[in-house]
Amino acid sequence: MARQSTSLSQPNDEWLQQQVSAGGEYSSKSELINELIRNARRAEALNQKLATAEQSGFTNQSPPDMLHLAKMIV
């Protein structure tokens, strides 16, 4: 796994630390940052799919089928 040094503003660093120490879902800031990046990538991919869909017109896919495909994107 690649190592990265990142400078954070004090409010962002405090927020990350609170998330790590609060619920136990994340064991480190690094783990939380990776999750935030994965979520951002999913959102970006979904927005790209939505933009393509808007430009292409109608679809024959049902809403559950579209949701299933969206979850498989990333």
Report which DSSP code applies to 56: H
As a whole number of angstroms, the distance between CA 70 and CA 30 comes to: 26
Q: How many CB atoms lie within 10 A of CB 7?
A: 6
Domain boundaries, the chain: 10-72
Find the mean pLDDT for residues 18-26: 87
As a whole number of angstroms, the distance between CA 57 and CA 48 comes to: 15
Q: Is the pLDDT of residue 74 over 80?
A: no
Q: How much is the pLDDT for 44?
A: 94
The better pLDDT of the pair 14, 67 is held by 14
Per-residue b or e along 21-39, where b marks 16 or more CB atoms closer than 10 Å to that residue's CB: eeeeebeebeebeeeeeee
Could you tell me the pLDDT band of residue 69, with boundaries at 50, 70 and 90?
confident
Taking only the tens place, the pLDDT of each residue in 26-61 is: 999 999 999 999 999 999 999 998 888 888 877 788
**Tokens of residue 58, six digits:** 């109608």
